[in-house]
A and B are shown apart, each in its own frame.
Chain A
């Protein structure tokens, strides 16, 4: 005979609100009849209630609380002394007493069944300990553009160690090539210099000419391997005296920009043909070593911020604009350099907007900044010489927010805006450039002569991002345009993996202000991750090796790429990658995987205790597995709107729709339950990216099986229930129950 299980059931009457519909005494009585200890309290979530539970339990008592929804009063119930994983809460208020108050008898039966199921759930629950891991308090920033620099500065200010990895010889990215910033029209040099000074001042290390080649380790303790290309000039020794620059016979040593960080000259080994070694001989500090080779090194970081920026769209294949055919046609980024060389001689400049952008064949999206960039450049031309003629050919001018004022200013300055994109850019015999355009405002074709043409090309994914795609593999999520995006609205800074964040234009087209903003958001996420990670529960998936057949389906279906093989060839989930979604639990064909908060044993024995005939022999009984992030809470909300549904539906919250295993659904149908609902998010909105679609795939194979068995496939259904989908649930279940009643009871039900 087994010892009496250490399970205690607490039933709350919620100040009489539950008592009005259900008899709490009868509920506790039912549990006591089953040989378990049951207690009731009028107000469990009050301080007295919590004390009452704590007085009657010890640390390893398994506690079932039958009260309101498990998602209410979570902070109050977190004060219990029992291990968090031994406490389970079932809802006899919102989803029982409230919504079924017109049917108290059925509501009582439902509550009783829910309690019985809850008891099974706690019976097979296990306590789980916390563990702590040390975190490397370093943020590695990949990319040294404006976003990367600011990420490093913010991280340093927040008390972390920051480190920049930049592939090119200098920091500053695209911004250091710019002529002015909009809308204040100040030179980027000023802002950039301040940022560089802060880097210098805070001794933030920046590895230039460095490329990330592999990523190992776990969030909190990443190990990055990088390659350093030879620089030939020692950063620490060089004093920028300029002797080598003067002496080099091939001009292979130079300072490319007045704003160089690190501020040492660049030695171009390709141009340096003859091995004269003059520079290394002449250098007073012996900083030059022409025999330097590539080197490899490793560094450790707790978190990584990807700030690989953008590249300008190359309009080569758009032959109608004459790019690279006529030497006075530039892209807007090239024009930033060109504009510095212009004199105050009167010139006519034509800007063509949306080159390659908003075009399904090239960049399908709007690049966000090109309108502002063209207006900025046009205004700079006007400042240079007010007689300069400037034309801007556009589809739509997009200057959101206060940038609209900037556009108005351009209108006032006499810049010509022409609605229509030139169909042809051609050089005339007398050396002018002719643009023919259909002006959709005047409704006629016009020809404009210009000296220079600027193509407003958009921002596209950079080579750096594409290279990183190889290194980081599945850890980053890329959208169809190649940008690093995970969950755009709520977590724009997150990647698929904890500890890896993104900042700047690698997320999508953005201007300097937004880049700096994004830098701070990525640092805040990284910071909270580093602080949060110190304590966590060991509630990641557990694989029953007796059952596991090593089919590797869990490895394939895990959306976070968390699975690895242990030394004996069995899969195990990497604790740092796993997000406890339970999709592996749903995937396992033999039901060998369980996660900390839920396991197959629990679900299976919960189905065992359901009395299928509880509402009558011909009344359908439905089991609904609902995603606890959205669907379950939507069902919770029904009571708030005063809605009601039939009590025949028993709901079970699960971490993700993808956590429902086909075996469990098969068991439910086998044991005579008439219908099974799996409720999840819309595919694109799934919190664990693949869960919802995988769940539908699995439901489909069960339905196929049912059809084969000459059972109605409609008995198992997947519903898309978003967070605000209370009405969707009501309508869908109403139809579902009607269909079930029409088809009659499950032939596998034993009466």
Chain B
């Protein structure tokens, strides 16, 4: 299931030609809508759910809908990225919350 861009939060990376989500997307699916200046996924069915765009968005504007194989409607997976850490919040369909913090291999 594809990424969903919250239009109110997205600032199109301040209107430059390539927003971060476009640069990071391995499938080259994210791009900027020239009229609204907001990012969108141009081919929803090709998304691999890697969540790179969700993680890199500086405005936290991209949400990921979890594919049904992993969790039905209501389940959510939310990353919060630090300079060398990532914290995942997993919410299952019953609303149970689990959190995991990891060190990443990024340099600080």
For this complex, 24 residue pairs linking A to B, each with C-beta atoms less than 8 Å apart, are: A547-B106, A549-B56, A551-B20, A551-B23, A552-B13, A553-B58, A556-B15, A556-B16, A557-B14, A589-B20, A589-B56, A590-B20, A591-B108, A604-B84, A661-B83, A662-B58, A666-B80, A670-B80, A670-B86, A671-B82, A709-B80, A709-B89, A710-B89, A711-B89
Give CA–CA (A748, B97) in the complex, Å: 12
Contact indicator A709/B82 (Cβ below 8 Å): no
Measured between beta carbons, the chain B residues less than 8 angstroms from A590 are 20, 56
The 8 Å CB contact of B108, one of A600, A711, A747, A750, is: A600
Contact indicator B9/A667 (Cβ below 8 Å): no
Give CA–CA (A748, B102) in the complex, Å: 11
Say whether B42 faces chain A, with CB atoms less than 8 Å apart. no
Contact indicator B9/A701 (Cβ below 8 Å): yes
Contact indicator B60/A670 (Cβ below 8 Å): no
**Quick one: CB contact mask for A659-686 with B, threshold 8 Å, 1 for yes?**
0011110110111000000000000000
Contact indicator B81/A666 (Cβ below 8 Å): yes
A549-569 with Cβ < 8 A to chain B = 549-553, 555-557
Measured between beta carbons, the chain B residues less than 8 angstroms from A550 are 18, 23
The 8 Å CB contact of A667, one of B14, B20, B83, B97, is: B83
**Quick one: CB contact mask for A283-324 with B, threshold 8 Å, 1 for yes?**
000000000000000000000000000000000000000000
Residue of B nearest to A706 (CB): B80
Residue of B nearest to A747 (CB): B99
Contact indicator A666/B87 (Cβ below 8 Å): yes
Measured between beta carbons, the chain B residues less than 8 angstroms from A551 are 13, 16, 18-20, 23
Say whether A601 faces chain B, with CB atoms less than 8 Å apart. yes
Quote the shortest CB–CB distance from B41 to chain A (angstroms): 18
Known interface pairs A664-B83, A701-B60; 5 further A-B residue pairs with C-beta atoms within 8 A, sorted by A's residue number: A556-B16, A600-B83, A667-B85, A671-B101, A748-B99
Contact indicator B89/A553 (Cβ below 8 Å): no
Measured between beta carbons, the chain A residues less than 8 angstroms from B58 are 553, 589, 662, 701
Contact indicator A552/B60 (Cβ below 8 Å): no
**Quick one: CB contact mask for B26-54 with A, threshold 8 Å, 1 for yes?**
00000000000000000000000000000
Give CA–CA (A708, B54) in the complex, Å: 13
The prevalent SS among residues of A at the interface is helix
Say whether B66 faces chain A, with CB atoms less than 8 Å apart. no
Measured between beta carbons, the chain A residues less than 8 angstroms from B56 are 549, 589-590
Measured between beta carbons, the chain B residues less than 8 angstroms from A555 are 16
Measured between beta carbons, the chain A residues less than 8 angstroms from B15 are 556
Residue of B nearest to A607 (CB): B82
Quote the shortest CB–CB distance from B21 to chain A (angstroms): 10
Say whether B91 faces chain A, with CB atoms less than 8 Å apart. yes
Residue of A nearest to B19 (CB): A551
Contact indicator A601/B14 (Cβ below 8 Å): no
Contact indicator A663/B83 (Cβ below 8 Å): yes
Say whether A704 faces chain B, with CB atoms less than 8 Å apart. yes
Contact indicator A705/B19 (Cβ below 8 Å): no
Say whether B75 faces chain A, with CB atoms less than 8 Å apart. no
Give CA–CA (A705, B18) in the complex, Å: 23
Give CA–CA (A661, B108) in the complex, Å: 13
Please judge, given known A-B contacts A549-B24, A605-B108, whether A670 and B16 are in contact too, CB under 8 Å.
no
Measured between beta carbons, the chain B residues less than 8 angstroms from A664 are 82-83
Say whether B73 faces chain A, with CB atoms less than 8 Å apart. no
Give CA–CA (A591, B23) in the complex, Å: 16
Give CA–CA (A610, B56) in the complex, Å: 26
How many residues does chain A have at the interface if contact means C-beta atoms less than 8 Å apart?
A: 38
Give CA–CA (A711, B108) in the complex, Å: 25
Residue of A nearest to B98 (CB): A747
**Quick one: CB contact mask for A710-723 with B, threshold 8 Å, 1 for yes?**
11000000000000
Measured between beta carbons, the chain A residues less than 8 angstroms from B20 are 549, 551, 589-590
Residue of A nearest to B16 (CB): A552
Measured between beta carbons, the chain A residues less than 8 angstroms from B101 are 670-671, 748, 750
**Quick one: CB contact mask for A311-342 with B, threshold 8 Å, 1 for yes?**
00000000000000000000000000000000
Give CA–CA (A589, B86) in the complex, Å: 14
Residue of A nearest to B21 (CB): A551
Say whether B59 faces chain A, with CB atoms less than 8 Å apart. yes
Measured between beta carbons, the chain B residues less than 8 angstroms from A553 are 13-14, 16, 58
**Quick one: CB contact mask for A518-560 with B, threshold 8 Å, 1 for yes?**
0000000000000000000000000000110111110111000
The range of chain B's interface size is: 20 to 34
Contact indicator B81/A708 (Cβ below 8 Å): no
Measured between beta carbons, the chain A residues less than 8 angstroms from B60 are 701-702, 704-705, 708
Give CA–CA (A651, B18) in the complex, Å: 37
Give CA–CA (A711, B81) in the complex, Å: 15
Contact indicator B108/A709 (Cβ below 8 Å): no
Measured between beta carbons, the chain B residues less than 8 angstroms from A666 are 80-82, 85, 87
Residue of A nearest to B89 (CB): A709
Contact indicator B18/A669 (Cβ below 8 Å): no
Give CA–CA (A721, B53) in the complex, Å: 35
Measured between beta carbons, the chain B residues less than 8 angstroms from A603 are 83
Give CA–CA (A550, B86) in the complex, Å: 22
Measured between beta carbons, the chain A residues less than 8 angstroms from B80 are 666, 669-670, 705, 709
Query: Residue among A546, A555, A590, A709 with the most chain B CB within 10 A?
Result: A709
Quote the shortest CB–CB distance from B34 to chain A (angstroms): 17
Residue of A nearest to B13 (CB): A551
Measured between beta carbons, the chain A residues less than 8 angstroms from B107 are 546-547, 601
Residue of A nearest to B15 (CB): A556
Measured between beta carbons, the chain B residues less than 8 angstroms from A589 are 20, 56-58
Measured between beta carbons, the chain B residues less than 8 angstroms from A671 are 82, 85, 101
Contact indicator B89/A556 (Cβ below 8 Å): no
Measured between beta carbons, the chain B residues less than 8 angstroms from A705 are 60, 78, 80
Residue of B nearest to A589 (CB): B58
Residue of B nearest to A704 (CB): B60
Contact indicator A667/B84 (Cβ below 8 Å): yes
Contact indicator B13/A701 (Cβ below 8 Å): no
Please judge, given known A-B contacts A604-B84, A666-B87, A667-B84, whether A549 and B97 are in contact too, CB under 8 Å.
no
Residue of B nearest to A602 (CB): B108
Quote the shortest CB–CB distance from A385 to chain B (angstroms): 66
Please judge, given known A-B contacts A604-B108, A701-B60, whether A663 and B18 are in contact too, CB under 8 Å.
no
Measured between beta carbons, the chain B residues less than 8 angstroms from A552 are 13-14, 16
Residue of A nearest to B82 (CB): A667
Contact indicator B9/A704 (Cβ below 8 Å): yes
Quote the shortest CB–CB distance from B88 to chain A (angstroms): 9
Quote the shortest CB–CB distance from A590 to chain B (angstroms): 7
Residue of A nearest to B17 (CB): A552
Give CA–CA (A554, B76) in the complex, Å: 31
Quote the shortest CB–CB distance from A160 to chain B (angstroms): 40
Contact indicator A591/B97 (Cβ below 8 Å): no
Give CA–CA (A605, B97) in the complex, Å: 28
A703-751 with Cβ < 8 A to chain B = 704-705, 708-711, 747-748, 750
Give CA–CA (A590, B106) in the complex, Å: 10
Nearest 8 Cβ contacts at the A-B interface: A667-B82, A589-B58, A556-B14, A709-B89, A670-B87, A604-B108, A552-B16, A705-B60
Give CA–CA (A667, B99) in the complex, Å: 14
Contact indicator B81/A663 (Cβ below 8 Å): yes
Measured between beta carbons, the chain A residues less than 8 angstroms from B9 are 701, 704
Measured between beta carbons, the chain A residues less than 8 angstroms from B76 are 708
Measured between beta carbons, the chain B residues less than 8 angstroms from A605 are 108
Measured between beta carbons, the chain A residues less than 8 angstroms from B82 are 604, 663-664, 666-667, 670-671
Contact indicator A708/B78 (Cβ below 8 Å): yes
Quote the shortest CB–CB distance from A119 to chain B (angstroms): 15
Give CA–CA (A705, B55) in the complex, Å: 11
Contact indicator B13/A604 (Cβ below 8 Å): no
Quote the shortest CB–CB distance from B18 to chain A (angstroms): 7
Query: Residue among B19, B24, B59 with the most chain A CB within 10 A?
Result: B59
